[in-house]
C-alpha cells in the first residue's frame, strides 16, 4: 500500500520516559512548546540587551554593575564602549528576528496547533520535526557563544552588511570569530526552518481530516501554511548567502569585498566582489522574513478576534486571499531596503511600486477587521485586548510605511530612528502582540489551566501604552534627523534631543518590567491556575473539541469529521451561539 | 489511493494525489532550486560587474570533459528511470541492477569532476585567485560546482542506501521514486551549470 498517505505519525507509540516525553519528543505539541520556550528565553535576553542599549544611550558614562563580568573588553568597569553598544544591537536584532519572531508565532504555535486544527494526529514527519527543533536549538547555542568569546559578538547589525561583515578582524571587535559564529548560527537556523517548512506544507496538504477542505481551515492554519511556503523559499536564499559569507571570511574568497578596500589602515587582500550582492541576497530573504513574522500573528489575531466577537469575519475568504497576495508580493520588494545603498535610482522606482501595492492587501485585512468589529458584541479579555492592540500597532506602524516606500522620502529617513520606529511597531511589537494574544488564548489548551485575567489585562495596558511611548517618539526623532546606530548623542548636534531619549528609556524600562508580570502569570498559572474546561472560550475550531491538555495522539484514537466552516458564531445552536466544526448539527 | 492508510481516518485525497514523501521531495527540490538559483544569480551579478572576467576553458580538454560528464549524468538519469519503473513493477532484481548502474555512473561523474578540479588546481586556480583574471572566477567555479558535486555524492550515498534496503524489503518503491526525483533534479541543475559556468567561459 505504498501509494497510500501513510504518515510516519501513526507509527510512533505513546512516548515513555522523561527524555522521550519532554526532550527528544516526536510529539508536535511538545516540539511546539519547545520552540515557544526557546523564543521565551531569546525574548528576555533580547529585551535585556535593549535595556542595556537604552541605558547607554541616556547615561553613556554610568557604569552598569556586573556587566564587566560578561565582557571585560566590551564594558571595562561596567561602562559600555561604543563598539560593545553595536555588539548588543547586533545580538538584539538577531535574537529577536530569528529566534523570537520566527520561532514563537510560526514554529511554536504552528507546530502545536496546525495538526490539531486540521484534525491530524501529528505532523507528516515527526522525526523531521524533532530534528528541525534541535537544529534550531544548536543555532541558538552557536549564536549565544559569541557573547563568551574574547572579542565578543559582531558589530555589523542583524543585517551583517558586507564588506564590514566579510573582511574579518581588521574591521572591528567581534568581526573575527564573533561574525563567523553569527554566520554559522544563521546558516544552521536556515536548515532547521527549511525542514520545518517542508513539514508544515506536507502536513497541511496531506493530513487534513475528512471534510476539512481548504476553505474550512481556520485563518491561522492558513497563515501558517502561507508562511511555510514563504519560509521554504526565503531561507533557501539566506543559506547560500551565509555560506558565501563564510567562504569570504574563512577561505579568502571575495564575493562581497571590492578591490582596493582599506580598513583600519590596512589594504585588504581581496578584489572583484560586490557588497551590494550581499544586500540583494540578504534582503531577498529579509523582506519575506518580515511576513514570516507578521502573517502568523495576523492569523492568530483573526482567530482570537472572531472568537471574541461572537460573529463571523466580514469575509474570511478575502482575508485569506489578501494574506496570499502579501506572500506573493513579498518577493518583489526587497530593493526598498536598499534605496540608499547606491543601487541604480531606476531600480529604486521599480521597487517602490510593488511596495506601495503591498499596502492594498494589508489595508484590506485591516478594513475586514475593523468592519467586522463594528457592531460586534466584543468580549474583553487579555487575549482579545492583545488582538485589538495588534490591530492598533499594525495600523500605526504600517502608516509610516507609506512614507518609507517612496525613495525620495526614504533617502532622508532611511538611516534615522524613523525606520527603527517603523519596523519595531509594525513587525516587532505587532508580532509580539500576536504572540501574547495567542498565549492568553491557547494557554488553557496547552496546559489545562487558565491564566490570570486581571494580571493579563494589567500586562496589556502597561505594554500597550508603553509601546506607544517608546516607539512613537522614534518617528519624531527620525524626522528631525536623529541617526540610528549611534551609541551616544551627548556631545553632538543631537544633544537637544536627549530629553526625548530619556523619556523613551524610562518608558522602555517600565514596559520591559511589565513583561515580568507576564512571565509570573505564565509560570504561576501553569501550576496554580484555575482548571480549564475543554472549551473555555466557546470556540468552534477543532483544538477546542479535545481535552485540555490534549492526549498524546490529540483525538484519543477518534477521527474527527468536519461539517462546517471554522467560524459558526451567532447561530442558534443547541449549545449556545456557536456550532463546533465537527458537530453534525445543521446550521 | 490516498484515502486509505491512516487508520480509519479518512483523509481527503491529497490535491496532487501524491504521497507525503513524494510531495516533500518536490518541496525540497523547489527550495534547493532556489538555493542554486541564488548562487547562479550571484555568479551572474559578479560576472557582469567584473571587467576582467577570464574565459579560460578550451574545447580540449575542458569542454570535451564536460560533454562526457554531461553524457554520463544524463545516462544515469535514464538508468534511474529504469530503476523506478522496475521497482514499481515489483522486479526487485532488475531495479537493483538499474540502481547500481546509476551509482556507478554517478561515481564516474564525480571522478571525472574531481580529476578536472585537480587539473585546474594544478594550473593555479584557487578559491581566492587564478592566473587569468578576476579572483571570483575560481570562487564561483568551485563553490557552484562544489555544491553540485556535494549533491551528486550525497545522491550516490542515498541511492546506495536505498538500493540495499529496497533489496532487503525494508524500503518500498515509493522510496526509490523519491530518490529518483532527487537524482533527476541533480541532473537538471547540471544542465544550468554547464552553459553558465563552462560554455560562457569558453576561450575564443
What pLDDT is stored for residue A12 in this prediction? Answer: 63
What fold is seen in the domain A28-257+271-579?
Cytochrome C Oxidase; Chain A (1.20.210)
Report pLDDT for A151.
84
Q: What is the mean pLDDT of residues A185-195?
A: 97
pLDDT value at A2 more than 50:
no
Q: Which pLDDT score, from 0 to 100, does residue B4 have? A: 34
* DSSP bridge partners of B202: B57
A562-576 mean pLDDT: 84
**ipTM, interface predicted TM-score of the complex:** 0.92
Q: Which pLDDT band holds residue A543 (cuts at 50, 70, 90)?
A: very high
Question: Least CB-CB distance to B19: which of A5, A270, A559?
Answer: A5
Distance from CA of A530 to the nearest CA of B (A): 34
Residue A360: the pLDDT is: 95
DSSP string across A509-555: HHHHHHHHHHHHHHHHHHHHSPBP-S-TT---SGGGGS-SSPPTTSS
Per the prediction, chain A carries an average pLDDT of 93
Q: Closest CB to B24: pick one of A202, A273, A284.
A: A202
Res. B7 pLDDT band, cuts 50 70 90: very low
Rounded to the nearest integer, the mean pLDDT of chain B is 91
- Tell me which chain B residue has its CA closest to the CA of residue A236: B35
* Interchain pair A5, B14: CB under 8 A: yes
Contact A178, A149 (CB under 8 A): yes
Average pLDDT over residues B115-119: 96
Question: Residue B11 pLDDT more than 70?
Answer: no
Test A239 with B35 for CB contact under 8 angstroms.
Answer: yes
Average pLDDT over residues A555-562: 88
- Span A297-315, average pLDDT: 94
Calculate mean pLDDT across residues B176-186.
Answer: 97
* pLDDT more than 70, % of chain A: 97
Is A233 in Cβ contact with B30 (below 8 Å)? yes
| pLDDT for residue A81 | 93
CATH number at residue B149: 1.20.120.80
pLDDT at B17: 61
Determine, for residues B32 and A236 on separate chains, whether the beta-carbon distance falls below 8 Å: yes
Among the listed residues B135, B157, B153, B169, the one whose alpha carbon sits nearest the alpha carbon of residue B53: B135
What's the number of domains chain B is made of?
1
Residue B33 lies in a domain: yes
* Closest among A181, A134, A138, A141 to A160, alpha carbons compared: A181
User: Inter-chain contact B2–A4, Cβ cutoff 8 Å?
Assistant: yes
pLDDT per position as a tens digit, A516-541 = 999 999 999 999 999 999 999 999 99
The confidence score (pLDDT) of residue A574 equals 64
Q: For residue range A115-149, what is the model confidence (pLDDT) as tens digits?
A: 999 999 999 999 999 999 999 999 999 999 999 99
Of B11, B46, B127, the CB nearest to A273: B46
Task: State yes or no: pLDDT of A5 exceeds 70.
Answer: no
Residue A3: band (very low, low, confident or very high) from pLDDT cuts 50, 70, 90: very low
Strand-pair partners of A578? A569
Cβ burial of A66 (10 Å; 0-12, 13-18, 19+) is: exposed
d(CA A124, nearest CA chain B) in Å: 7
Weakest mean pLDDT among A2-16, A456-470, B105-119, B135-149: A2-16
Q: What is the mean pLDDT of residues A381-401?
A: 96
B33, B38, B126: best mutation site toward chain A, by most A Cβ within 10 Å? B38
Q: How confident is the model at residue A457 (pLDDT cuts 50, 70, 90)?
A: very high
Tell me, what's the pLDDT at B63? 94
pLDDT at residue A333 is higher than 50: yes
Percentage of chain A exceeding pLDDT 90: 83
pLDDT score recorded for residue A380: 96
Residue from A136, A142, A141 nearest A199 by CA: A136
Residue B3 falls inside a structural domain: no
Q: Using 50, 70 and 90 to split pLDDT, how confident is the model at A14? A: confident
A244, B134: Cβ pair inside 8 Å?
no
Domain assignment of residue B149, given as a range: 20-201
Give the per-residue pLDDT at A1: 33
Dump pLDDT digits (tens) for A275-303: 999 999 999 999 999 999 999 999 999 99
- How far apart, in whole angstroms, are the C-alpha atoms of residue A43 and residue A55? 18
Query: From CA B71, how far away is CA B79, in angstroms rounded?
Result: 12
Mutate to test the interface with A, among B139, B141, B165, B170 (most CBs of A within 10 A): B139
CB pairs under 8 A between A and B: 158
Amino acid at each position: 500500500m505504498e501509494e497510500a498517505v501513510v504518515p510516519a505519525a501513526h507509527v510512533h507509540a505513546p512516548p515513555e520516559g522523561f527524555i522521550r516525553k519532554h526532550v527528544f519528543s516526536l510529539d508536535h505539541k511538545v516540539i511546539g512548546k519547545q520552540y515557544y520556550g526557546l523564543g521565551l528565553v531569546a525574548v528576555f535576553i533580547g529585551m535585556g540587551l535593549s535595556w542595556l542599549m537604552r541605558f547607554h544611550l541616556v547615561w553613556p558614562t554610568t557604569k552598569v554593575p556586573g556587566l564587566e563580568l560578561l565582557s571585560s573588553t566590551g564594558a571595562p568597569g561596567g561602562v559600555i564602549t561604543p563598539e560593545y553598544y553595536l555588539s548588543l544591537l547586533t545580538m538584539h536584532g538577531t535574537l529577536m528576528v530569528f529566534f523570537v519572531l520566527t520561532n514563537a508565532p510560526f514554529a511554536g504555535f504552528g507546530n502545536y496547533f496546525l495538526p490539531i486544527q486540521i484534525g491530524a494526529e501529528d505532523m507528516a514527519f515527526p522525526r523531521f520535526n524533532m530534528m528541525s527543533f534541535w537544529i534550531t536549538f544548536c543555532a541558538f547555542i552557536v549564536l549565544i557563544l559569541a557573547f563568551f568569546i574574547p572579542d565578543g559578538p559582531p558589530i555589523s547589525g542583524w543585517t551583517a552588511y558586507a564588506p564590514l561583515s566579510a573582511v574579518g578582524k581588521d574591521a572591528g571587535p567581534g568581526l573575527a570569530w564573533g561574525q563567523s559564529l553569527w554566520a554559522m548560527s544563521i546558516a544552521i537556523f536556515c536548515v532547521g526552518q527549511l525542514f520545518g517548512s517542508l513539514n508544515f506544507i506536507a502536513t497541511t496538504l496531506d493530513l487534513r481530516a475528512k471534510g476539512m477542505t481548504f476553505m474550512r481551515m481556520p485563518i491561522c492554519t492558513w497563515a501558517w501554511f502561507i508562511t511555510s511556503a514563504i519560509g521554504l523559499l526565503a531561507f533557501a536564499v539566506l543559506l547560500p548567502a551565509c555560506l558565501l559569507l563564510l567562504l569570504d571570511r574563512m577561505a579568502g574568497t571575495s564575493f562581497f569585498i571590492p578591490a582596493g578596500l582599506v580598513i583600519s589602515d590596512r589594504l585588504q587582500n581581496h578584489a572583484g566582489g560586490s557588497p551590494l550582492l550581499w544586500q540583494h541576497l540578504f534582503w531577498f530573504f529579509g523582506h519575506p522574513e518580515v511576513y514570516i513574522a507578521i502573517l502568523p500573528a495576523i492569523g492568530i489575531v483573526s482567530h482570537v478576534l472572531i472568537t471574541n466577537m461572537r460573529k463571523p469575519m466580514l469575509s474570511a475568504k478575502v482575508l485569506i486571499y489578501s494574506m496570499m497576495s502579501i506572500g506573493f508580493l513579498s518577493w518583489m520588494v526587497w530593493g526598498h531596503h536598499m534605496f540608499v545603498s547606491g543601487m541604480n535610482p531606476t531600480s529604486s522606482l521599480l521597487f517602490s511600486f510593488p511596495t506601495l501595492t503591498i499596502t492594498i492587501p494589508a489595508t484590506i485585512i485591516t478594513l475586514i477587521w475593523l468592519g467586522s468589529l463594528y457592531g460586534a458584541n466584543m468580549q474583553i479579555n487579555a487575549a482579545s485586548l492583545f488582538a485589538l492592540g495588534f490591530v492598533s500597532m499594525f495600523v500605526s506602524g504600517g502608516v509610516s510605511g507609506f512614507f518609507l516606500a517612496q525613495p525620495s522620502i526614504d533617502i532622508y529617513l532611511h538611516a534615522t530612528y524613523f525606520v527603527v520606529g517603523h519596523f519595531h511597531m509594525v513587525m516587532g511589537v505587532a508580532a509580539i502582540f500576536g504572540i501574547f494574544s495567542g498565549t492568553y488564548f491557547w494557554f488553557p489548551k496547552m496546559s489545562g489551566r487558565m491564566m490570570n485575567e486581571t494580571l493579563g489585562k494589567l500586562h496589556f495596558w502597561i505594554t500597550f501604552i508603553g509601546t506607544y511611548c517608546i516607539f512613537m517618539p522614534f518617528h519624531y526623532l527620525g524626522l528631525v534627523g536623529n541617526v540610528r546606530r549611534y551609541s551616544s548623542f551627548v556631545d553632538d548636534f543631537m544633544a537637544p534631543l536627549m530629553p526625548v531619549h530619556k523619556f523613551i528609556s524610562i518608558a522602555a524600562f517600565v514596559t520591559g518590567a511589565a513583561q515580568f508580570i507576564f512571565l509570573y502569570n505564565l509560570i504561576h498559572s501553569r501550576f496554580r491556575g484555575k482548571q480549564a474546561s475543554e472549551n473555555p472560550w466557546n470556540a468552534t475550531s477543532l483544538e477546542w473539541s479535545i481535552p485540555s491538555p490534549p492526549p498524546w495522539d490529540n483525538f484519543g484514537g477518534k477521527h474527527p469529521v468536519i461539517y462546517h466552516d471554522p467560524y459558526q458564531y451567532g447561530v442558534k445552536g443547541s449549545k449556545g451561539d456557536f456550532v463546533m466544526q465537527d458537530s453534525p448539527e445543521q446550521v | 489511493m490516498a484515502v486509505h492508510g491512516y487508520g480509519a481516518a479518512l483523509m481527503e485525497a491529497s490535491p496532487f494525489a501524491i504521497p507525503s514523501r513524494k510531495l516533500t521531495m518536490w518541496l525540497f527540490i523547489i527550495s534547493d532550486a532556489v538555493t542554486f538559483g541564488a548562487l547562479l544569480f550571484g555568479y551572474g551579478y559578479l560576472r557582469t560587474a567584473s571587467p576582467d572576467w577570464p574565459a579560460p576553458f578550451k574545447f580540449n580538454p575542458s569542454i570535451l570533459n564536460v560533454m562526457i560528464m554531461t553524457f554520463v549524468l544524463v545516462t544515469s538519469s535514464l538508468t534511474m528511470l529504469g530503476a523506478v519503473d522496475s521497482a514499481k513493477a515489483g522486479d526487485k532484481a532488475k531495479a537493483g541492477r538499474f540502481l547500481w548502474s546509476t551509482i556507478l555512473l554517478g561515481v564516474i561523474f564525480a571522478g571525472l569532476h574531481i580529476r578536472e578540479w585537480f587539473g585546474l588546481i594544478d594550473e593555479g586556480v584557487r578559491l581566492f585567485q587564478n592566473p587569468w583574471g578576476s579572483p571570483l572566477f575560481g570562487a564561483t567555479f568551485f563553490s557552484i560546482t562544489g555544491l553540485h558535486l556535494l549533491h551528486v555524492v550525497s545522491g550516490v550515498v542515498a541511492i546506495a542506501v536505498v538500493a540495499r534496503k529496497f533489496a532487503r524489503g525494508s524500503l518500498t518503491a515509493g522510496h526509490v521514486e523519491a530518490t529518483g526525483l532527487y537524482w533527476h533534479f541533480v541532473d537538471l541543475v547540471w544542465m544550468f551549470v554547464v552553459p553558465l559556468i563552462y560554455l560562457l567561459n569558453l576561450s575564443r
